[in-house]
């Protein structure tokens, strides 16, 4: 089962992923990205390996030296050494591959794009969140090739969490 989740920023895509991971009885691997906030302000984004808990920066105002992306600098090394490595390992070892999220920052890495394409083509279960407005060919593929595309809103979030859990439970 391949499930894509899309929706506006802040609607709860990462929350859905985390709740599904807590509830489904599948061995999971892959990556999650989350905001880093200090004193009420967003200062960056983290990337975390679902299986090991290893964490690094996806982007940050101060701690990265990669290409600029808006106010942030990308940390392509952490994305690839933690996030992409987690996806690649999940494709070998896990039953459920998690990719949160396929968005503009992550798509700057060709290794990330290749790993997501492998996940789409694999026989593994896949739970992937995708930026709602990206025109990148990979975002388009996800929105059109997954078995279920969930359009998440604040009003349907709890119902959709239950639906995804049901879809991924034996």
Domains and CATH numbers, the chain: 2-32+84-168 (3.40.50.300)
Q: What single-letter DSSP state applies at residue 16?
A: H
Predicted confidence (pLDDT) per residue in 50-90, tens digit: 999 999 999 999 988 899 999 999 999 999 999 999 999 99
Residue of 91, 42, 90 lying closest to 70 (CA atoms): 42
Instruction: Report if pTM > 0.85.
Output: yes
Residues 73 and 64: beta-carbon distance below 8 Å:
yes
Predicted confidence (pLDDT) per residue in 18-61, tens digit: 999 999 999 999 999 999 999 999 999 999 999 999 999 999 99
CA dist 102 and 79 (Å) reads 12
């Amino acid at each position: 089962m391949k499930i894509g989740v899309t929706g506006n920023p802040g609607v709860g895509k990462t929350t859905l992923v985390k709740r599904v991971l807590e509830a489904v009885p599948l061995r999971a691997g892959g990556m999650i990205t989350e905001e880093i906030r200090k004193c009420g302000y967003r200062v960056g984004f983290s990337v975390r390996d679902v299986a090991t808990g290893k964490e690094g920066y996806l982007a940050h105002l101060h701690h990265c030296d990669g290409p600029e992306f808006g106010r942030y600098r990308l940390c392509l090394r952490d994305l690839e050494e933690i996030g992409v490595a987690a996806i690649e390992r999940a494709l070998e070892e896990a039953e459920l591959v998690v990719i949160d999220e396929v968005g503009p920052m992550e798509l700057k890495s060709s290794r990330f794009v290749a790993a997501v394409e492998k996940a789409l083509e694999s026989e593994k279960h896949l739970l992937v969140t995708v930026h709602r407005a990206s025109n990148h060919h990979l975002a388009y593929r996800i929105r059109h090739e997954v078995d279920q595309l969930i359009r998440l809103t604040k009003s349907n979030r709890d119902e959709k969490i239950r639906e995804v859990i049901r879809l991924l439970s034996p």
